[in-house]
Chains A and B, each alone.
Chain A
Amino acid sequence: MTSTVTATPGVSQGLDAQALRASLERLAASAGIRQWDLGAACSTDTSVQVDRGEAKQMKGAQRSSITIRVWNDDGLVGVTSTSDLSEAGLEKALAGARDASAFGNADDTPQFSPLATAPLQELHQPLQDPQGILRLLDTLKAAEAELLGRHGAIATVPYNGLAERSSERLYLNSAGASRQQRLSTASVYLYARAEETGRKPRSAGAVRLAYGAADLDIAGCIDEAAQRTISHLDYAPIATGRYTCVFSPEAFLDLIGAFSSLFNARAVLDGVSLSNRESIGQPLAVPFLSIHDNGLHPGNIGASAFDGEGTPTRRLALVEGGVLQNFLHSEATARAFGVVPTGHAGLGAKVSVGPDWFEIGPTPGSGGGQQGLDRFRAPEPIVWIDSLSALHAGVKASQGSFSLPFDGWLVQGGETRSIEAATVAGDIRTLLNAIVGFEGEAKVTPDGLCPHVWVEGLSVTGDT
């Protein structure tokens, strides 16, 4: 039996690209398969959760997965995935992909990316040794204790976790392409729950990512979680009506991410995007808005150097000066549009396309909308949206509409008070054209880079 998983001391169980290629070439040849590619990944994860000073759960996981695509004699594509990277598993997956290829779509057949052997940009992703679960546990216990001590009303931190991961992924194809990337990452999240006598419980939290547990900004995570939770303790209902809303960077990035089909060539071809083939070059938003996708930004912890088809990741202008500039592409959609793949593909018989990491802000030279915006000095009441919920249910991407619960504050006369329970609703295209301007510096978040964004005339429903 040939093992395609080998030990890589200090990092994780590693993928042996040469062994994997040798196995696939031999198995494919014996099955009469001339064209194939594959994506494989393996990871080792360790995580802890705590509850009021005690370990609640400690988890470890070793995972491996592989997706194999084959092209049959008619040029049709089939795919199969498995967690079994043994020789027998690969053989079964290859056979499954060949069987599935009989049902391949002749009208939309993926090919190898022409950029699957293009040079990759070198990423600064320092590999860090894992700390081990006991150190993670001690660190998280201390963080929880610190957070509990920040305010008498914070009684628990019901959602918390500290995790570290070592992972590796690769892409190979029968034309000789070979991509491989190793990565170590760590994350911490702290969501506190606070309750004062006679009042409703309130909750808020914070997340931090880094390349290793030792680099996590845990103090910053505690500060942010405490500050946000405490700021929601004094709450009041808000009257239903139309408001100027200020989206936090996280909230605006979430909203744009939920409507990313606007920029998705796959969605355009499938007819489920609000954009169409003729939308490139057309105004989409206010003339001072820029949106780029940049998976290579140094703030994108865990960035991928290449996509599922081996295409290099790159920075791509989606909107500049309010005008739609480019779509995100796979090999197949790029071919359909007569452009080059952009590095946003998955791997499948029908290849999915998705964004990496957004950069949102004013278009250079555009003025950037109204200047000097300050929600604490605004003459009218401002709804400051801290975080959006239930995007999976409240966003109708193909219609453009959204109706979403949010946590936030009403800012009035310089005073800030948490909003008890409310939803914000609207249409994404209307919203993009109702942006007033930006406030403050852009902030790096796990999902992208964005300043606070002012939008006027949004419908807010309150609990009164």
Chain B
Amino acid sequence: MVASATSAGPGTTSPDPGAPTRFDAAWRPRLESLLASGSAAGADLVELFLERTDHLGVLAEQDTITSVSPAFGMGAGIRVFRGERDGFVSTNDLSDAGLRRALEQALGMLGLQLPSLAGTGLTTGFEGLADLRDFAAAKEEWLRRCPELREATGRLLEGTGLLERHGSHLQVRRGSYARDWQEVLVAASDGTFGRDIRLHQSVGLNVLAADGEHRSSVGRRYGTSGRPDDLREWNADGSAQEVCESAGTMLYADYVEAGQLPVVLANRFGGVIFHEACGHLLETTQVERGTTPFAGKVGEAIAHGAVTAIDEGLSDGAFGSLSMDDEGMEPQRTVLIENGVLQRFLSDRAGERRTGHARTGSGRRQGHTFAAASRMRNTYIAAGPHTPDELIASVDRGLYCKAMGGGSVGPTGQFNFAVEEGYLIENGQLTKPVKGATLIGEAKEVMPRISMCANDLELAAGFCGSVSGSIFVTVGQPHIKVDSITVGGR
């Protein structure tokens, strides 16, 4: 019998009275009971993901705080595998009854039933959880050490004030701050038992400059993980100068002329090209769907020999860094492409089961309402031997993309991303600013055209939305040159 998720009975949204609310080893008996039951029901693997969150969002406009938005929550995601199939149920109800009901529903999706609770001596194959790997032990104070509201609002107002000082023709000045704290506990019937605390903070500045019919809107966002003092240490003046300089330059920029052009992409957020053009296609999620042209290409050249690309979760303080992934595995440094040759894919539990690619500590999800999937962490093209000037000097007529906007990739591998701040390259020199460019292409065609990499690798924080929700990532690269790409414009 299958229990429909809609047949849930009355529930509350907090644990049983007296049950542990802190995620620690005290949860072991409850979790082991669930895992044993799921295993006894015939599941190959049962995974429990428990989560508590605490979010703060603050918005400053001009010289006023206009929104303070705190939010907190908790919940669990239960995933059951049988062969290559899986069932996943999420709930806000962390009571024993609520978790058991969710497990029953997940099992039911695979045609499995919970054994009787009265049964003893169940044959489960589950040998109990390993000792808790507590990555959170040194992070208990992180939330308390973050800026209080008064300090946070003060820093933001300082930022919008600096925009006023450095900018001209500014019609709108905005500063925003987001603090996301998350405590997770992961337990699985293979013995995995891990706890972690994550802290992500980001601060952004945006302006809209206007002069008659001329308008430019520019924004920058800076983010770190695991650094409670991040907002205190934020270089508000440098950020404001960067934003205002860009807005001023782009205010009177002409629209870019469309065509096939060589482009030089700046470092930091320029890395969005690799993220969209290739990174997503190296997730086993795409192998499972049959939507990557690179399946079965390990050991083959898929990019220019100048390209080495890495995804890792280890860089200190980077937005995509983790102590453990959302499946309880420690992250790795995964070389995806070395000198143009495909080395491996990013894989999670489901990817390993369905594609055979070993896990890489890349199982990630936005929260308990999503099943984990293979996702990028800190992803970048490695530094090369050239200077940025050498790349620009090698182009007779092309486009220099100094700042990039967002992008996306579709099911056929066609990607796109927007250029926020661009300049024409004429005879090896940067000339006039241009706006309105969108770059489009296909991974298989563009990767071999990345012919030069500079020596100035830098990373930038970003958000990536995909099958398992919106997650914190880092993109990065040195300056790179793409020999030819379609530049959409007017």
Partner-B contacts on A (CB < 8 A): 1, 3, 5-7, 11-13, 44-46, 51, 54-65, 78-86, 88-89, 92-93, 96-97, 99-100, 102-105, 107-108, 130, 132-134, 155-156, 158-159, 164, 166, 191, 193, 200-203, 240, 270-272, 348-350, 389-390, 392-394, 396, 398-401, 403-405, 421-426, 459, 461-464
Contacts and interface: CB of A to CB of B under 8 A. Distances in A.
Interface of B is mostly: strand
Interface string B281-314: 0000000111101000000000000000000000
A61 B14 contact: no
A271 B66 contact: no
Interface in B87-108: 87-93, 102, 105-106, 108
B490 A426 contact: yes
Interface string B98-126: 00001001101110000000000000000
A82 B72 contact: yes
22 contacts: A1-B12, A3-B10, A51-B288, A60-B89, A60-B102, A83-B13, A83-B74, A96-B70, A100-B149, A133-B109, A203-B410, A270-B61, A272-B172, A349-B69, A389-B416, A396-B217, A400-B215, A405-B438, A423-B416, A423-B440, A459-B489, A463-B486
A403 B67 CA distance: 31
B356 interface: no
A80 B149 CA distance: 14
A254 to B, nearest CB: 14
B412 A203 contact: yes
Interface string B396-431: 000000000111101111101110000000000000
Nearest to A52: B290
Contacts of A6: 10
A462 B108 CA distance: 50
Contact of B92 (A83, A97, A463): A83
A62 B73 contact: no
B70 A83 contact: no
Given A7-B8, A62-B90, A403-B438, 15 more contacts: A1-B12, A11-B6, A46-B5, A60-B102, A82-B72, A83-B72, A83-B75, A84-B92, A102-B149, A396-B436, A398-B208, A399-B215, A424-B488, A459-B490, A464-B260
Contacts of A3: 10-12
B4 interface: yes
Contacts of B69: 79-81, 100, 348-349
B160 interface: no
A193 B269 CA distance: 30
Nearest to A156: B290
Given A83-B74, A396-B217, A403-B489, A60 B105 contact: yes
B171 interface: yes
B417 A393 contact: yes
Contact of B416 (A54, A60, A390): A390
Contacts of A46: 4-6
Interface of B: 2, 4-6, 8-14, 17, 58-59, 61, 64-75, 84-93, 102, 105-106, 108-110, 149, 153, 171-172, 208, 215-217, 255, 258-260, 288-291, 293, 369, 371, 405-408, 410-414, 416-418, 435-438, 440-442, 486-490
B151 to A, nearest CB: 12
A264 to B, nearest CB: 14
Q: Considering the complex of A and B, which 3 residue pairs feature the smallest CB-CB distances, nearest first?
A: A423-B488, A60-B5, A83-B73
A349 B87 CA distance: 38
A75 B259 CA distance: 57
Given A5-B12, A398-B208, A461-B259, A166 B6 contact: yes
Given A83-B92, A461-B258, A193 B411 contact: yes
A159 B285 CA distance: 11
Contacts of B153: 103
Given A13-B11, A85-B13, A103 B149 contact: yes
A62 B418 CA distance: 37
A57 B13 contact: no
Contacts of A63: 90, 92, 369
A57 B66 contact: no
Contacts of B11: 3, 5, 7, 13, 62
Contact of A62 (B8, B86, B289, B371): B8
A205 to B, nearest CB: 9
Nearest to A398: B217
Contact of A61 (B90, B172, B406, B436): B90
A86 B71 contact: no
A81 B406 contact: no
